[in-house]
Structure 1
Amino acid sequence: MKKYVLIAVILFIISIILGVLFVDSFKPFLIEIINNLIEETPTIEVLSLFQHNLQANILIMIGGIFFSVFSIFTLIVNGAVLGSLSTFTSLDVYLLYIIPHGIFEFIALFISFATALIITKLIIRIIKGLFYKELTVKKQLNESINLIKAIIMSIIIVTILLAIASVIETYITTILAETILAII
């Protein structure tokens, strides 16, 4: 799991850098995102935010069934958008509005991506069980019990992290950022 999380972090950092470097390519898309955020911000609720983020992370995990192609794409796009958005304001303002809840969301994202890779590994084992005589699907699944446990544990951890992030984003991030900005 650790190596998969590390892969997620590296891909995410690279995509953030690419988002900053190629911000002009993303501008029309980013302006639409910013306008949607402005429209939705007053009505943001913990439960809807949690549901949205959980759904996105579960889709990333499920992407593992399809050899994580969708999961890789989603991780890279998220990083690129995040990097591009950082160019629209000063770094301190940007970080104040991202870090309080983002810490939990990023960890959940990285775990979700790692889970997608684990699911891909499990799918490959099942495929091997179908095509190789000496490896049966049942045998492959029995040998993959730790992978299955890791997937279940990841879903639980991601759910908890996203619940925490939703509460922080709804009730703390804006107030904290505005308070700090008023002081400095």
Structure 2
Amino acid sequence: MFNEFKRAFTENKRAIYIAIVILIVSMVLGYFFEPYLYKYLNPVVEDLTQKVQSGVVKLTFADIFLNNFKIICEMFILGLLFCFSAVILSFNGFFVGYYVAFSGNLFEVLLYIIPHGIFELSSCALACASGFVLFNFLYKFLKALLIQEDGSFKNKLANSFDSSYDKLKQACILFVTSVILLIIAGFVEAYLTIPIAEFVIGVLG
């Protein structure tokens, strides 16, 4: 099992690195282009703030996890649509960068983001990478299917699936790892982020 996990990461390093670069670049752009993104992203911030204040959205482990789980599922599944995962990851990166810039107090907002953000952003990057690998599986499957000349269509499907199965398995391994990181992130955000941030602010304030 360990070897399977190791292979999933080593054989798909490029996909993981690309996802990390997309996330970092989008966050940096979101931060520096905050004035230009205001009219597009501020309504999202205001809507989220209003829902939290009204109790529609609760900062419980279940709510936090389920909301983020929906996002990483979209990144995984929509990877089949020509790596559309990258668009979803970019939007989330833009939003994080925008929110940090919009909040004004860089040190304080980072205190409220970093404890769980380390795990949550890593989870998002891995989910995006798993979407890339899933697209790679689809590409290999269709390529293998089209180049076969002999045999029934059923056998062609079976042979194509067998030849590309490794990529499907590796995509699922990356996604499961992403879910594990998201569980950790949800726990930290629900129970540890605010106490840690308040403690540091209290000590330094």
TM surpasses 0.5:
yes
Q: Give me the whole-angstrom Cα distance separating, in 2, the residues matched to 1:19 and 1:26.
A: 7
In structure 2, what is the equivalent of residue 172 of structure 1? 192
Pick aligned residue for 1:109 from 113, 116, 124 = 124
Pick aligned residue for 1:144 from 160, 164, 174 = 164
Secondary structure in structure 2 of the residue aligned to 1:44: coil
Q: Which shifted more, 41-50 or 97-106? A: 41-50
Q: Give me the whole-angstrom Cα distance separating, in 2, the residues matched to 1:149 and 1:14.
A: 29
In structure 2, what is the equivalent of residue 126 of structure 1? 141
Does structure 1 conserve the Cα–Cα contact (< 8 Å) formed by 2:80 and 2:138? Answer: yes
The normalised TM-score by structure 2 is 0.81
In structure 1, what is the equivalent of residue 37 of structure 2? 26
In structure 1, what is the equivalent of residue 112 of structure 2? 97
Which one-letter code corresponds to 2:28 in the other structure?
Answer: I
User: Whose Rg is larger?
Assistant: 2
Alpha-carbon deviation of 1:36?
Answer: 3.3
Pick aligned residue for 2:72 from 50, 57, 73 = 57
Which one-letter code corresponds to 2:189 in the other structure?
Answer: E
Does structure 2 conserve the Cα–Cα contact (< 8 Å) formed by 1:26 and 1:81? Answer: no
Alpha-carbon deviation of 1:134?
Answer: 5.2
In structure 2, what is the equivalent of residue 4 of structure 1? 15
Paired positions, count: 183
Q: State the identity as a percent.
A: 27
In structure 2, what is the equivalent of residue 155 of structure 1? 175
Q: Give me the whole-angstrom Cα distance separating, in 2, the residues matched to 1:38 and 1:52.
A: 15
Listed as ranges, the matches of 1:38-49 within 5 Å are 38-39=49-50, 40=52, 43-49=58-64
Does structure 1 conserve the Cα–Cα contact (< 8 Å) formed by 2:144 and 2:163? Answer: no
Q: Which shifted more, 28-37 or 97-106? A: 28-37
Does structure 1 conserve the Cα–Cα contact (< 8 Å) formed by 2:130 and 2:172? Answer: no
For residues 62-112 of structure 1, give each alpha carbon's deviation from its aligned partner in whole angstroms, at most 9, with x where no partner exists: 01111112x111111111111111112222112111111111111111111
Matched, 1:87 2:101: yes
RMSD, aligned CA? 1.9
Which one-letter code corresponds to 1:175 in the other structure?
Answer: P
In structure 1, what is the equivalent of residue 28 of structure 2? 17
Q: Give me the whole-angstrom Cα distance separating, in 2, the residues matched to 1:134 and 1:177.
A: 63
Say which structure is richer in helix: 1
